[in-house]
Amino acid sequence: MPKRLSTLFFILSLVFIFPGCATLKTPTVNHIAKQTFLPPQEILEKIDRNHQSPGALKAIAHIEANTLQGRYPLKAAVMVKRPSSLRLEVLPLIGPPELILSVHENVLKVFLPQKGEFYIGQALGKNLGHFFPFSMEGLLIEDITSLLFGAHPEIKEKSLTLKDSSEDGFYRLDILSEQRKIQSLLIDSENSKLVRVNLFDNNNSLRYSIRFLGHTMIENLAIPEKITFTSGDDANPYIIIRYSDTQIATEADAGSFDLQPPPKVTTIYLD
């Protein structure tokens, strides 16, 4: 098993990004709360349409991870394509990448050039945990890629209740299934941009709160310039991601997200 790489912590919180294309299907809603300027179901559908893209999101990610061991600033080249494709390269000040990571069809591949080691396993939290000193328990790869793209994770439940209200001057949309809260979305009602996603565990306790700040329009997509992750009720983000050189790449294919082991490199299987 590989040792945790303290300098790579940034990856998962990022685990960024090359957002991609995926047509998000809004589940059937069996109840809609009181009327607003638009019905909650229409708001949810509009938010989902605003984050559909046929390409991948490419960017330089400036990442800051705050852990009990200290603050770790990192820079990485990332490419993300929804629903679940990812490629990330950690960029040192000088020299080749310290780590290259890819996820394609739920297979995680990691190459550590300095050690000459290549890892393969399922893209599960327990395997990602070998490389990151922080927990993303409860999030799937497709959840992470959605968040890195500035969108909320896809909702898989078929029967939902939507409730709308206001919070801090924003439109709030609570998404519940059988009275269990799944997500809360905060939306800027003036421009319909998603500014915060709260995710809950099975006990209705807040698990993660993700904020999207300073949106930039790129090919009709609102891409956040900054993303912060907080855990539970903690007010201080443990991961901060700032994007630069952001673009939408239409040429990214499956091969871009399927890392192949270099010749004469030791392959280690995680499963």
Give residue 134's pLDDT.
Answer: 61
- For residues 33-52, average pLDDT: 77
- pLDDT for the residue numbered 21: 34
E strands, the chain, where?
29-32, 56-67, 70-81, 85-90, 99-104, 107-112, 117-122, 160-167, 170-177, 180-188, 193-200, 206-218, 221-231, 239-249, 266-269
Q: Is the pLDDT of residue 229 over 70?
A: yes
Q: Mapping DSSP to helix (H, G, I), strand (E, B) and coil, where does residue 59 land?
A: strand
14-23, 49-58, 174-183: least confidently modelled range = 14-23
pLDDT tens-place string over residues 116-138: 999 999 998 788 878 765 667 77
Could you tell me the residue ranges of all domains in the chain?
A: 6-269
Instruction: Read off the pTM.
Output: 0.82
How sure is the predictor about 158, in pLDDT bands with cuts at 50, 70 and 90?
A: confident
Q: Which of 84, 50, 80 is nearest to 194 (CA)?
A: 50
Mean pLDDT of 151-176: 91
CATH pick for 6-269 out of 1.20.1250.20, 2.50.20.10, 3.30.56.10, 3.40.640.10: 2.50.20.10
Q: Over the stretch 177-191, which tens digit does the pLDDT of each residue have?
A: 987 899 999 999 888
Average pLDDT over residues 1-25: 39
Tell me what pLDDT residue 133 has. 55
Query: What average pLDDT does the segment 91-106 reach?
Result: 89
- CA-CA distance, 80 to 103, in Å (whole number)? 9
Segment 217-227, tens digit of pLDDT: 998 889 999 99
User: Between the CA atoms of 17, 22, 27 and 33, what dihedral angle is there, to the nearest 10 degrees?
Assistant: 60
- The segment with the largest mean pLDDT, out of 31-35, 212-216, 254-258, is 212-216
Cα distance between residue 19 and residue 175, in whole Å: 23
The mean pLDDT of the chain is: 83
